[in-house]
Structure 1
Amino acid sequence: MPSSPPYRLSVAPMMDWTDRHCRAFHRSLTRRALLYTEMVTAPAVIHGDRERLLGFSGIEHPVALQIGGSDPGQLAEAARIGEAMGYDEINLNVGCPSDRVQSGRFGACLMREPQLVAECMAAISEAVNVPATVKCRIGVDDQDPDESLFSLVEACAAQGVSTFIVHARKAWLKGLSPKENRDIPPLDYGIVRRLKAARPDLTVVINGGVADLDQALGFLEPPDQGPALDGVMLGRAAYHEPALLGGADRRLFGEAVDDVTPFGAVARHRPYLLRSLERGVPLAPLVRPMLGLMHGRPGARAWRRILTVEGVRPGAGMAVVDQALAAVAEAEARRAA
């Protein structure tokens, strides 16, 4: 049986969240899911500190670089740099609604300029041999999603783009903050299904409000009418409750493996933590993505408190993680008694 493609489950690019330490931690829970960087603008890729902005560990593969911009030449150069650094995919951000992104003429505001997005994608595709993909919204402000989404996809598909990650919400560029844009615009999963039905030749991945693997599986199975979607991208659920990723390889990729438990994930992640500490990385940024690991378990509050309070102390190291693990184990033993 052919191996399921990595886009069957992916973890969304999330600004200030999905840094290299977060991605390395998520990899301790799932070998198969596709991981994404935070968005990096094309000028930053070209002129910035590449190791700081783009550096990653080999354990993160498969991992995609998300770039932002609207200048085809800049995006092509940024894509070449990303491919040379070893990224497995280059993704263009056509979904971020922040004011800073709008002022730079990239992100969600590009939903209004499908031909420009197509030119950008043509430049990226020509520049690299790895997949070039688009992550978009279904529209912005007063656009009709049946026009805006389909126009964008058709324009890019005409340039050979075959994979689209669709955040199934509009972005309201006027009147809503970036945070509000993650919750207030209503989800429209139906339009993503319609897109796949209209273009079965394309790879269509759904994003937005997916809470767990049960819901993800629902999108990967054919509904009563219409085709199944090709993939699901998890966002905040994967960050705030990362333990759910521990069942992904078995449930979504069909591997004959045991689910990774929270304790098992920490054991897998320990070598990365030790190497990072030896390089002088403080403990606090290393454990920040781990705070939600024990969500819903006895001792979850103690786990978060110990990692947060003790993790920022000078010289904090693996003893803090072990202390937090012991607190969870003790709470579970009390619950079982």
Structure 2
Amino acid sequence: MQINQNARLSVAPMMDWTDRHCRYLHRLLSRQALLYTEMVTAPALVRGRALHLLDFSAEEHPVALQLGGSDPVELAEAARLGRAAGYDEINLNVGCPSDRVQSGAFGAVLMLQPGLVADCVAAMSEAVDVEVTVKCRIGVDDQDPEQALPDFLSRMTAAGCQRVIIHARKAWLQGLSPKENRDIPPLDYDLVLRMKQRFPDLHISINGGIASLSEAQAFLQAGLDGVMIGRAAYHDPAAVLAAADPVIFGLGQETDPAEAVRLMIPYIEAHIQAGGKLHQITRHMLGLFAGRPGARAWRRHLSEGACRADAGPALVLDALNLVSPDEPRAKAV
């Protein structure tokens, strides 16, 4: 299945970050990596009919919709809406530790109810003709991951799930904020590697604390099927995505981030003509030249100017002229 090949490297779903503008930029940097939406709640789609949350550009393919929810019937309907919108995969969030998610009885708290998650996955799989996947933690609170995670994965496979993404940290639902849950619980990569040995037919991607293509390669060589990178792909997208196609997929050539900026111009023009604001796009572009001469000037020019009422593509091209074309960063592979 082609999407399993794309899942060798994916960009994590990140609330307030991986919106459609961010994904469009990331697609220009890598033609192959699998992209994910921010989490969209099933109630917002089914009860609220907020179908605008499903909007994306055809150029983003392959792209997966991540759903949050805990009602099998509602999730099945949300999955149908996502498939009708054209998404290539439907993913169920069983990893987000935020208070809002907990109060809605979905996200990481569902690690405590694997039977319910299995029911949700089975209902979603029955509803759509694309793969239904799960993104989870290794456990929550006082669970023993050595017992909880294999039990969880067994139930997922029995429900028809063939691909999971495992964030290799526990989530502490009491006592830690969502931000602290991204850093404080220790990573247990070895446990995820053991799960691949225990479930050889299950496509397993690893997530959490991975910051470079060299780290991603090491996990792939160790036997995992895929690697999902989050914050590093957002804050330094060129380092993670520009060389991903040749390094991870053996296809194409490394992308020049300056060329990606130029390719963003028609997209920016269309967004502004439709009533959008420049900063809605450029906020995702600030880290594009991290580590390169002129990166600070690039960031400052965009940060200070993009919120002006008259800001447009010319501002972006002016900022690009502040970046040195002669001294590119060392390749991060």
Shorter chain as denominator, the TM-score bin is over 0.9
Deviations 1:237-293 (A, max 9, x none): 0000000200000000011x2201211211222222222122221100111110000
Structure 2 distance, partners of 1:332, 1:203, is: 40
Identify the residue that residue 88 of structure 1 maps to in structure 2.
88
Identify the residue that residue 254 of structure 1 maps to in structure 2.
250
Identify the residue that residue 19 of structure 2 maps to in structure 1.
19
Deviation (angstroms), 1:111: 0.5
Name which of structure 1's ranges 4-13 and 313-322 shifts more when overlaid on structure 2: 4-13
- The SS at the match of 1:169 is strand
Identify the residue that residue 271 of structure 1 maps to in structure 2.
266
- The SS at the match of 2:215 is helix
Kindly provide the amino acid, as one letter, of the partner of residue 95 in structure 2: G
Kindly provide the amino acid, as one letter, of the partner of residue 278 in structure 2: L
Kindly provide the amino acid, as one letter, of the partner of residue 322 in structure 1: L
- The SS at the match of 2:242 is helix
- The SS at the match of 2:13 is coil
Deviation (angstroms), 1:115: 0.5
- The SS at the match of 2:67 is strand
Unaligned runs of 5+ in 1: 223-227
Residues 5-154 of structure 1 mapped to structure 2, 5 A cutoff: 5-48=5-48, 50-154=50-154
Deviation (angstroms), 1:332: 5.4
Structure 1 distance, partners of 2:3, 2:68, is: 31
Runs (4+) of structure 1 exceeding 4 A deviation are 330-333
Deviation (angstroms), 1:151: 1.1
Identify the residue that residue 220 of structure 2 maps to in structure 1.
220
Structure 2 distance, partners of 1:171, 1:60, is: 30
- The SS at the match of 1:170 is strand
Note if contact 1:61-1:88 (Cα within 8 Å) is conserved in structure 2. yes
Note if contact 2:30-2:244 (Cα within 8 Å) is conserved in structure 1. yes
Kindly provide the amino acid, as one letter, of the partner of residue 329 in structure 1: S
2:282 matched to 1:281?
no
Note if contact 1:299-1:332 (Cα within 8 Å) is conserved in structure 2. no
TM-score with structure 2 setting the length: 0.95
Structure 2 distance, partners of 1:49, 1:157, is: 31
2:168 matched to 1:160?
no
Identify the residue that residue 299 of structure 1 maps to in structure 2.
294
Deviation (angstroms), 1:3: 9.3
Deviations 1:299-324 (A, max 9, x none): 11111111111000011001110111
Unaligned runs of 5+ in 2: 329-333
Note if contact 1:210-1:216 (Cα within 8 Å) is conserved in structure 2. yes
Structure 1 residues 330 and 162: CA distance shift in structure 2, 3 A: closer
TM-score with structure 1 setting the length: 0.94
- The SS at the match of 2:120 is helix
Kindly provide the amino acid, as one letter, of the partner of residue 292 in structure 2: R
Structure 1 distance, partners of 2:304, 2:123, is: 47
Structure 2 distance, partners of 1:258, 1:75, is: 39
Note if contact 2:236-2:287 (Cα within 8 Å) is conserved in structure 1. yes
- How many residue pairs align between the two structures? 326
Identify the residue that residue 331 of structure 2 maps to in structure 1.
none
Structure 1 residues 111 and 3: CA distance shift in structure 2, 3 A: closer
